Amino acid sequence: METLIKVLKGGSCKITPQRIAVYNVLQDNFDHPNAEAIYNKLAPTYPTISLATVYKSLELFAELGLIQVINIGENSFRYDYNAKSHPHVVCTKCHKVEDLEDESFMELSSAVEEMKHYKITKQQLCFYGVCPECTDM
């Protein structure tokens, strides 16, 4: 919250109730919502907000490095409050998306750099399977 205000100011962007609201939804929901899910979460308490504003806020946050955009093979993008690169685990039954905060995966980039002689700047790892809860059924 303090972070949001600091970063917005740093980027000479205005602090608006809409931006705060969108950011708070991401902060409170670790289910990696897409733009529409965020919009729906906001609807009850913020009935006048526009979906375009949600998209524009998310785009801005991503540019400012506040959040990250992820892509788990669905037809829409999802947004992650944690901007730091980390793997995601997707349950193919209940469709939940979990974070895997493990630094060791970051080393893969250097392996790729050696193999392909690229200068790697970002990595996106996604594992699909059945979660413990769904296995028991």
Chain residues in the site for DNA (CB under 7 A): 13-19, 34-36, 46, 48-53, 55-57, 59, 75-77
Report, in Å, the least distance between residue 86 CB and a second copy: 12
Instruction: Specify whether the CB–CB gap between 98 and 89 falls below 8 A.
Output: yes
Report, in Å, the least distance between residue 19 CB and a second copy: 23
Instruction: Specify whether the CB–CB gap between 49 and 43 falls below 8 A.
Output: yes
Instruction: Specify whether the CB–CB gap between 57 and 41 falls below 8 A.
Output: no
The structure tokens listed for 74 are 């669905």
Choose the contact partner of 17 out of DNA, a second copy, none; CB within 5 to 8 A by kind: DNA
Task: In whole angstroms, give the CA distance from residue 111 to residue 21.
Answer: 40
Task: In whole angstroms, give the CA distance from residue 99 to residue 82.
Answer: 9
- Binding span for a second copy by CB under 8 A among 13-21, 42-50, 52-60, 127-135: 127-135
**Contacting a second copy (CB under 8 A), which of 7, 37, 69, 106?**
69
Strands 68-70 and 78-80: antiparallel
Report CA Rg, the chain: 17
**Contacting a second copy (CB under 8 A), which of 18, 24, 29, 109?**
109
Choose the contact partner of 108 out of DNA, a second copy, none; CB within 5 to 8 A by kind: a second copy
Binding residues for a second copy, rule: CB under 8 A, are 69, 71-73, 87, 89, 91-92, 98, 100, 102, 105, 108-109, 112-113, 115-132, 135
